[in-house]
Amino acid sequence: GNSVTQMEGPVTLSEEAFLTINCTYTATGYPSLFWYVQYPGEGLQLLLKATKADDKGSNKGFEATYRKETTSFHLEKGSVQVSDSAVYFCALRHGYSTLTFGKGTMLLVSP
């Protein structure tokens, strides 16, 4: 079946540090890949997505590239801010609309 594996958190960084959150997936065929962000006390918001191999999704300084050869979709940001502190979920969609989520990675950014 489909599955998503994310690095465990929390990831603790100082402001302006470089961020990488690893995500790998298992799926047949060609899933679409997503990163969602959950700020404290809120629901999930779509951060970025990629729908085919070698696509790069980007938003708010975050980027992730769909790598089919390594079945990965790592999230990166060059310079994090305190306001980026949140839980980040990698997800895939295969077929109609059902999403399969990773377990989430908490990011804590200190000033």
Binding site for other proteins (CB under 8 A): 30, 32, 36, 42-46, 49, 51-52, 89, 93, 95-99, 101-104
| Residue 56: both structure tokens together | 């790069």
Residue with Cβ nearer other proteins (46 or 82)? 46
Q: Which residue has the tokens 């700020």?
A: 39
Residue with Cβ nearer other proteins (67 or 93)? 93
* Phi, psi at 82, each rounded to 5°: -55, -35
**Shortest Cβ 36–other proteins spacing (Å):** 8
**Shortest Cβ 25–other proteins spacing (Å):** 13
Residue with Cβ nearer other proteins (7 or 17)? 7
Q: How many residues can be counted in the chain?
A: 111
Contact 44, 59 (CB under 8 A): no
Contact 9, 107 (CB under 8 A): yes
**Shortest Cβ 103–other proteins spacing (Å):** 4
